Amino acid sequence: MKYLMFVCTDTEPDPDTAAHPDIEKWVADNDANGRRLDGSVLGPAAAATTVRVRDGDLLVSDGPFAETKELIVGFDLLECADLDEAIEVARAHPMAYAGRLELRPLVDLPEPA
């Protein structure tokens, strides 16, 4: 099953000063075993553009849609057997300590009739 893992900042990171996992090792290990299909760091929130259409009018605004202290700073696309495996993969990510990770399953849409 595929999961999109949002990598986010957090206003309350882990206060433990012990060394956190190494991101390069996490990427290499999960790329090698096929659990990480893709991923990237995102540009800054200030570079975001929000696009909406309301009453037929295109509305484009600078900046992120949500006003929050936590920001999405990256993503990883995971291939895992189930949610438990995805949680274990996320648990080993450095941002599980310094930020937060959100896992969402990808949903296959039905073929159009």
Mean pLDDT over each residue of the chain, to the nearest integer = 91
Q: Given this model, what pLDDT does residue 93 score? A: 96
Distance CA 85, CA 32 (A): 16
Distance CA 25, CA 85 (A): 18
4, 75 in Cβ contact below 8 A? yes
Structure confidence at residue 15 as a pLDDT band (50, 70, 90)? confident
CATH number of 2-105: 3.30.70.1060
Map out the domains of the chain as residue ranges: 2-105
Pairing of strands 57-62, 49-54: antiparallel
Map residue 35 onto helix, strand or coil.
Answer: coil
**pTM of the entire structure?**
0.85
Print burial letters for 92-109: b (CB count within 10 Å at least 16), e (below 16). ebbbbbebbbebeeeeee
Query: Tens digits of per-residue pLDDT, 28-76?
Result: 999 999 999 999 999 988 888 888 999 999 999 887 666 667 788 999 9
Map residue 13 onto helix, strand or coil.
Answer: coil
CA 12 to chain CA centroid, Å, is 18
